[in-house]
Amino acid sequence: MSHKDNREEGGEAGNSKSKAKPHLLHIALSDPKSVAFILAVYLYFSGFTFAYYFYSNFGLAMTLNEVPFYNMFVFAFNVVRGYWWLTAWAFLLLVTCALYRHLEKMKAWFDPIVLLIFLGFLPALYWCSYKLAKTTAMEARTGRIPLPTVRLVIKADKMPEYQKLKVLMKASEAGKLRMLAQNKDWLFLLYQELIPGVRSLPAALVFSVAKADLVTAEMHID
């Protein structure tokens, strides 16, 4: 009787161990919705980092630009695509998520590797987003990435104010204003004089122009 009881108690103990509550990593990676959410957070973080540092090169705050939410994922795609090793890492993340539920017996040693892959991907994303933002801003300054040309048509009652801004008006007439960003109320325009044969970047000016002051703003895509 005692042996039977011991076996039953042993069996119950074994069952209780096997039915132990899964840890947070298992819960997150066993649910496709959780995996999709984690990856979306990573991509948004990358896109936001890129946009923040790109516009900060021109003295523009993210709060002024009103960059659409979905643009962050477009920026993130360009970041991941721009570095082959980051693309490989992202693919490894997807494979890890897909295989995690099927590797129950290997979890004892597999979990630390999964954590390393996920946690290491975040600073890698940050670094690549930062570097690509700086590179893209430089290419925009040098003309390798063309920005749309903007010509302003000012309202008659606002013209006296703008005539004081001679650099802005001359740049507009000469077709040398470039669109950097805009929101519902303002245009943010870049002006610089690129000198052929000179490698160093010239001084640049960023103008903020109220849309309410304009009849129209003609935009030309080069």
Q: What tens digit of pLDDT does each residue of 40-95 get?
A: 898 999 999 999 999 999 988 887 777 888 899 999 999 988 888 888 888 887 77
pLDDT for the residue numbered 29:
66
The residue extents of the domains of the chain are 2-142, 149-220
Q: What tens digit of pLDDT does each residue of 165-216 get?
A: 888 999 999 889 999 998 889 999 999 876 666 567 778 889 999 999 998 8
> Which one has a higher pLDDT value, 63 or 10?
63
Angle at 85 between CA 68 and CA 103, to 5 degrees: 95
Residue 126 has pLDDT above 90, yes or no: yes
The Cα 208–Cα 189 span in angstroms is: 6
**CB-based burial, 191-203: b 16+ in 10 Å, e otherwise:** bbeeeeeeeeeee
The Cα 161–Cα 156 span in angstroms is: 10
Indicate the pTM of the whole model.
0.77
Q: What tens digit of pLDDT does each residue of 128-176 get?
A: 999 999 999 999 888 888 899 999 999 999 988 888 888 899 999 988 9
